[in-house]
Amino acid sequence: MKKEKLNITRGATFIAPLITAKELNAILGQSHIKIFDVRGTWGTDPRSLYNDYLWGHIPTATFLDWRKEFIEQDIAPNLAQVSTYEAAKQSFKTLGINKEDTVILYDDYHHMFAGRIWWAMRYWGFENVRVLNGGYKYWQLEGLPISQEFDKILAGTFEPICQEHLRVSLPDFLIKKDSACVLDGRGIAGYNGKPEDPRTGHIPGAISAAYNSLIDKNTGLFLEKEAIIKLFDETIPNWRTSNIISSCGAGYSGTVVMIALANLGIQASLFDGSFSVWKQDPERPVVQSF
């Protein structure tokens, strides 16, 4: 049977979400290329992110702390939403980002943190942003240059413009979820939940699209487009034609799914806060599967 055409976003700027290590290495040092090191860990006791950066990073890269930029402050990371306009404007200024720049992001955590910043920058209107395919792991595997130097950052001038279609708040989600294809980007264990904890599991109707099923475990690279299309065809009904809302635990692994979809020409929105926000109300149902 003939496949339906992919539901490509029309009438909007749509930049390929990924850049290869080879492509990035070829443009290192160009003044309009701004590279950001977004390496990190998820947990209660993360390692020193800045020290990792100081010990070695991609040449010309600037450190970007995912816990401080483009995210609400003074709230637990799993519940924090995307930052306000004023805070986003300050982040663009602090990071030295201008309208004419090309931003490249990388991490070493399955593209989750780079993905979150990629989404947040686009939500605040900065389109020319891409994620390094394979992240720092693959850069090192390829034997590409590492630096311990960093430059002074000049204040950026980019003015945020909210792109509301890229974000779904909880009130919006309650309205839209039943008519959308909701994908859960967490690993399968998080999606399934724990028998001893009835408030673990997933949102009713959400379909598992585990982030680690989209990435080669040896190289850290996203699977080829054909492999991802095959996987989606086998596991997600109507993904080609539905409006897609990406979800996860807190709005991080869901962005990995968004990158995979964007690489196919499909623009999804993110349920900001995701399952962590959903389960706050004990009256909202949770589904478990074992």
pLDDT in tens, 109-160: 999 999 999 999 999 999 999 999 999 999 999 999 999 998 899 999 999 9
Tokens of 178: 């039943």
Domains, the chain? 18-163 (3.40.250.10), 165-278 (3.40.250.10)
The distance of Cα 38 from the centroid of its chain, to the nearest Å, equals 11
**Band (82; pLDDT cuts 50, 70, 90):** very high
Tokens of 169: 């708040």
- How large is the average pLDDT for residues 76-103? 96
Q: What is the pTM of this model?
A: 0.94
How far apart (Å, rounded) are the C-alpha atoms in residues 159 and 97? 10
Give the residue from 152, 137, 116 showing the smallest Cα distance to 56: 137
How many Cα atoms sit within 13 Å of 258 on the Cβ side? 32
How far apart (Å, rounded) are the C-alpha atoms in residues 151 and 154? 9
> Is the confidence at residue 7, as pLDDT, over 50?
no
pLDDT of 3 reads 45
Place of tokens 């700027």: 13
Calculate the dihedral angle through the C-alpha atoms of 30, 35, 11, 236, rounding to the nearest 10 degrees.
140
Tens digits of residue pLDDT in 25-70 = 999 999 999 999 999 887 755 567 888 999 999 999 999 999 999 9
**Residue 215: beta bridge partners?**
222
pLDDT of 46 reads 58
Radius of gyration of the chain (CA): 18
> Is the confidence at residue 258, as pLDDT, over 90?
yes
Tokens of 238: 């109507």
Tokens of 179: 């008519």
Give the residue from 147, 106, 110 showing the smallest Cα distance to 129: 106
Q: Where are any strands of DSSP class E within 98-208? A: 102-106, 129-132, 167-168, 181-184, 207-208
pLDDT of 47 reads 62
